């Protein structure tokens, strides 16, 4: 069966340092894949390659049969790839509802967007999204006033608004309380199936709560793939994490 997303022999080097070294990964449609690994394993770089932030020096990335590695970032986004960044990235001076409105990128051309917004056909959509991420009360406030956890939620909400087929999440629960993390896990499980997700996480509790298959990266390569139990038992994974007390405490 041909996969939805396919990375083949992808390599990247930054000034001689090989961040990715012949990385291979494939993800099926509707899957929720967790990507873990020690610091510097190349997890974020792998997401950067898929969304076009970094261009591979070798190898191919194909998504539904489209070669992504030669496209511009905005073209990759239009092809159906959404990305949440590790440092929460929102439009701080715009209101929460305007943030969500920008993310609902149904039309992307300049001339197509030279129309007014007061008819508000999308207002119900935005209210529904705000409810989903618990920001209904904050809709009219500038995003700069949100707490760190709320900012994370806003960016997650923006990705849901974008409605991309493939969603890349880089440490979505960083800085969240245990309760917020649990709510995030529930949301991700709901998104699974409708969207394909790749989630980079350190929190093993979170990974076990959401993930079907876990991919472990080490030194820019794929080390192991499997369920949580399989991965934890994998001898090479244990070796890669040696000294940090196993992956549960990473």
Partner 1 sequence: MPSNASNSNGLQRLIAQLAPLLIVCAVVLALPVLLNNDFLLNKVARYLVLGILTISLGLSWGFGGILNLGQAMSFGLGSYAMAMALKLKTVPVHTGVSGLPDFMVWNNVQHLPWFWEPFRSLGFAIAAGLLVPALVAAGLGWFMFRGRVTGVYVSIITLATMVVINLVIIDQQSYTGGFNGITDLAQLELFGVAFDAYGRATYYLVAGCVLLSLLVAFAFTKSRAGLIVQAIRDHESRVRYFGYDVALYQIFVFALSAAIAGLAGMLYTVVMEFASPTFLGVQLSLSVVVWCAVGGRQSLVGAFLGAVLVAGMQGALSESAAFLETWTLVMGALFVLVVLFLPKGLAGLAQATWRWVAQRRRAAGSAVARGVSQTEGST
Interacting residue ranges for partner 1, rule: CB under 8 A = 51, 53, 72-74, 77-78, 82-83, 85, 89-94, 98-99, 101-103, 105, 107-110, 113-118, 120, 123-124, 127, 158, 162
Find the shortest distance in angstroms from Cβ 147 to partner 1: 18
Find the shortest distance in angstroms from Cβ 215 to partner 1: 22
Find the shortest distance in angstroms from Cβ 137 to partner 1: 13
Are 79 and 63 in contact by the 8 Å Cβ rule? The answer is yes
Which lies closer to partner 1 via its Cβ, residue 41 or residue 143? Answer: 143
Are 6 and 26 in contact by the 8 Å Cβ rule? The answer is yes
Which lies closer to partner 1 via its Cβ, residue 99 or residue 181? Answer: 99
| CA 143/CA 105 separation, integer angstroms | 19
| CA 185/CA 192 separation, integer angstroms | 11
Which lies closer to partner 1 via its Cβ, residue 117 or residue 248? Answer: 117
Grouping H, G, I as helix, E, B as strand and the rest as coil, residue 182 is helix
Find the shortest distance in angstroms from Cβ 51 to partner 1: 6
| CA 102/CA 88 separation, integer angstroms | 16
Which lies closer to partner 1 via its Cβ, residue 155 or residue 232? Answer: 155
Which lies closer to partner 1 via its Cβ, residue 101 or residue 171? Answer: 101
The token pair that represents 68 in the structure block: 């992504």
Which lies closer to partner 1 via its Cβ, residue 115 or residue 249? Answer: 115
Find the shortest distance in angstroms from Cβ 157 to partner 1: 13
- Please give the C-alpha separations between residue 120 and each of 97, 98, 104, 124, 149, in angstroms, as whole numbers: 11, 12, 13, 8, 28
Are 237 and 216 in contact by the 8 Å Cβ rule? The answer is yes
Find the shortest distance in angstroms from Cβ 181 to partner 1: 23
Pick the closest to residue 117 from 126, 14, 156, 241 (CA basis): 126
């Amino acid at each position: 069966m041909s996969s939805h997303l396919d990375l083949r022999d992808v390599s990247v080097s930054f000034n001689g340092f090989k961040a990715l070294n012949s990385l291979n990964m494939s993800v099926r449609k509707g899957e929720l894949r967790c990507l873990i690994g020690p610091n510097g394993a190349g997890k974020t770089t792998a997401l950067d390659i898929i969304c076009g932030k970094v261009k591979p020096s070798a190898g191919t990335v194909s998504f539904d049969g489209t070669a992504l590695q030669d496209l511009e970032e905005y073209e990759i986004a239009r092809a159906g790839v959404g990305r949440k960044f590790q440092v929460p990235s929102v439009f701080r001076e715009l209101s929460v509802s305007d943030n969500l409105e920008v993310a609902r990128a149904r039309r992307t051309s300049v001339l197509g967007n030279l129309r007014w917004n007061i008819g508000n056909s999308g207002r119900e959509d935005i209210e529904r999204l705000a409810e989903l991420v618990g920001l209904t009360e904050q809709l009219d406030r500038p995003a700069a006033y949100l707490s760190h956890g709320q900012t994370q939620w806003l960016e997650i909400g923006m990705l849901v608004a974008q409605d991309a087929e493939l969603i890349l999440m880089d440490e979505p629960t960083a800085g969240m309380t245990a309760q917020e993390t649990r709510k995030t896990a529930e949301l991700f499980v709901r998104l699974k199936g409708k969207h394909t997700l790749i989630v980079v996480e350190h929190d093993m509790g979170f990974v076990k709560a959401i993930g079907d298959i876990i991919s472990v990266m080490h030194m820019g390569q794929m080390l192991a793939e499997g369920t949580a139990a399989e991965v934890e038992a994998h001898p090479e994974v244990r070796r890669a994490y040696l000294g940090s007390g196993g992956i549960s405490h990473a």
